[in-house]
Amino acid sequence: MYRSIDNRVMTLDERIEKDLTELYNYGEIVSAHDLSIKMFGSHDGFSAYGKPGHFAGNRNAKTVMVMLNPGKDVATANNPIKTHSLLCDLDIKTNTLKDFIRTYKEASMNFGEKDFDKAINPNKYIEKYCLDNFDIKQAAFLKHWEGCEVKILDPFPTKDDKDKRQIVKKDVLMDKLQLELVPYASRTFEVKDEKLELLFPFVETLFDEIFRKDDRKYVIFCSDYFKKLFERYSKDDRYPGWIKIDQTETDPSILKNGVSCTPIRIYRNGKEKCPEDVPSLKAVIAHTFPNQALPNAYDLMIDYGEFCYKTFINSKI
């Protein structure tokens, strides 16, 4: 994800094709290896040998949730046996490079459907994989986002209601678009300030995909990290986009240390010159989304999602 010699943004489709071509031909995603060395001084900062995760769900969806990267341990993601098993589970073919790219995209679009189909046959799938709390957490967050087009059961399923949780997971995976800032897995994501510019081309690809459809309704960046990243990106004249950042709002009632979010407006190009003449989109940074106190507390995540929704709606940015 970089700007080429002709100053053109690498699109999501181009990034997918580049990464999968490298993985197929060389057994390693060169881009992931190089980024890991530049950012962390080590080859094992990001997974370069396992399946990447560029997106999941409906690329035309009105609701987009953006994560930092797939949160999986690098050693596990790089394990060839586990990677092969995952490719088989997702029906990703590796007969030819063309098959690999085509079925990877199909699996990414239909991930929730595949999960659901395999979950109802316990002999074919691992229950704990199908009931990943991370996806249930997203559904809880979106429960009060009016018109988000994600079907969410009411009342929201409890932890013990596995059948309904599986339905909720399928719907939240299929009815929205999930994007990753960096598509290469790692358990943690800590980048020094002086290395932030290495991520700017990834920001460009995110924005290109988000603005590809002009009817996006909700765009939610699910980490506090995005605020610092966007502040720095907006000051870099090599990139045309910029982000106007509203006041951060907090609510001390949901968690002991409070929760927060920040409405923003993304301008696709023009920096601060004539912003009224360039495409823009209102979005929100959900700072507290990754908080470890929230994944298993669906009621608290529902409350936090409602707080973010009201903050987003009320913002005049």
DSSP 258: -
Q: Which two tokens stand for residue 246?
A: 């509203």
**Range list of H helices, 41-175:** 74-78, 80-89, 97-109, 111-119, 127-130, 133-142, 162-175
| Residue in this structure with the two tokens 């199909």, named with its chain if needed | 106
C-alpha distances (whole Å) from 108 to each of 53, 156, 158 are 8, 25, 27
| Residue in this structure with the two tokens 């699109």, named with its chain if needed | 11
Q: Which two tokens stand for residue 74?
A: 């690098």
The gap from C-alpha 206 to its chain's centroid, in whole angstroms, comes to: 9
3-state class (DSSP) for residue 267: strand
pLDDT band at 272 (very low <50, low <70, confident <90, very high): low
pLDDT value of position 236: 92
- 156 C-beta neighbours (distance < 10 Å), count: 18
pLDDT band at 285 (very low <50, low <70, confident <90, very high): very high
Between helices 162-175 and 111-119, what is the axis angle to 10°?
160
pLDDT of 134 > 90? The answer is: no
Of 115, 158, 120, residue with least CA distance to 140: 158
What domains does the chain contain, in order, with CATH numbers?
52-73+110-314 (3.40.470)
**Burial call 24-53: b when 16+ CB within 10 Å, e when fewer:** beeeebebbbebbeebbeeeebbbbbbbbb
pLDDT in tens, 139-194: 999 999 999 999 999 899 888 888 888 889 899 999 999 999 999 999 888 888 89
Radius of gyration of the chain (CA): 19
Are residues 208 and 174 in contact, defined by beta-carbon separation less than 8 angstroms? no
User: Phi, psi (5° rounding) for residue 267?
Assistant: -105, 125
CA distance 16 to 101: 8
Of the listed ranges 74-83, 237-246, 288-297, the one predicted with least confidence: 288-297
pLDDT value of position 139: 95
CA distance 22 to 49: 10
CA distance 94 to 79: 17
The pTM of this model reads 0.91
